[in-house]
Chain A
Amino acid sequence: AQSVTQLGSHVSVSEGALVLLRCNYSSSVPPYLFWYVQYPNQGLQLLLKYTTGATLVKGINGFEAEFKKSETSFHLTKPSAHMSDAAEYFCAVSEVDRDDKIIFGKGTRLHILP
């Protein structure tokens, strides 16, 4: 069965600094990978997804993530943090061949320091 591990339940960065949120996955078949963002008292919004093809995926709000099969990783980055990026971020995986549900990590709360 697939699973996701997000390293760091809380990450703090200064406004304007690089954002790096780490995600490692486990899957027995080629995975689909996702990053979602959740603002307080709201549902989840899809930031970006990797399905097939190019391993560097660009998403909304300036975020991007790179699929590294050899490292089983899908880390999320943004070159310059904004105050509005403060939120909870979830990495998620689904198994392509099984056409199965998406499994989420426990999340990383991103704090932006002024």
Chain B
Amino acid sequence: DTGVSQDPRHKITKRGQNVTFRCDPISEHNRLYWYRQTLGQGPEFLTYFQNEAQLEKSRLLSDRFSAERPKGSFSTLEIQRTEQGDSAMYLCASSPNSRGGYTFGSGTRLTVV
């Protein structure tokens, strides 16, 4: 098992374009989380899945953001009509439950120009 994988590592996009990120969790973990981290801040919760069900969405997740986890395996996070304020590191994590701590991926750094 190679841990949590995120793709791409870096993404530069023009304002107004759509972007999609992918996260592959540890295979036996049924919970998957998305966080956003801006410079000098801690990770901020965006959303999480238990298997294929999206259980909670933060109010940070505007209607331009959508996340899916088909079949309870990998997950995608899509941002439509990107804005400069979307520039951040997007972190994915997985866990068998919320009590053991998460395993994080290396993140996808998004830069909107």
Contacts and interface: CB of A to CB of B under 8 A. Distances in A.
Interface residues of A, number: 25
Interface residues of B, number: 26
B105 interface: yes
Interface of A: 9, 32, 34, 36, 41-46, 49, 51, 90, 92, 94, 96, 99-107
Contact of B107 (A32, A43, A90): A43
Interface in B38-61: 40-45, 48, 56
B107 A106 contact: no
B85 interface: no
25 contacts: A41-B106, A43-B6, A43-B91, A43-B104, A43-B105, A43-B106, A44-B102, A46-B101, A46-B103, A49-B101, A92-B42, A96-B99, A99-B98, A100-B98, A101-B45, A101-B56, A101-B98, A102-B98, A102-B101, A102-B102, A103-B45, A104-B43, A105-B42, A106-B40, A107-B41
A27 B48 CA distance: 21
Contacts of B33: 101-102
Contacts of B45: 101-103
A107 B42 CA distance: 6
B97 A44 contact: no
A96 B109 CA distance: 31
Contact of B104 (A45, A103, A107): A45
A49 B100 contact: yes
A9 B39 CA distance: 12
A30 B99 CA distance: 12
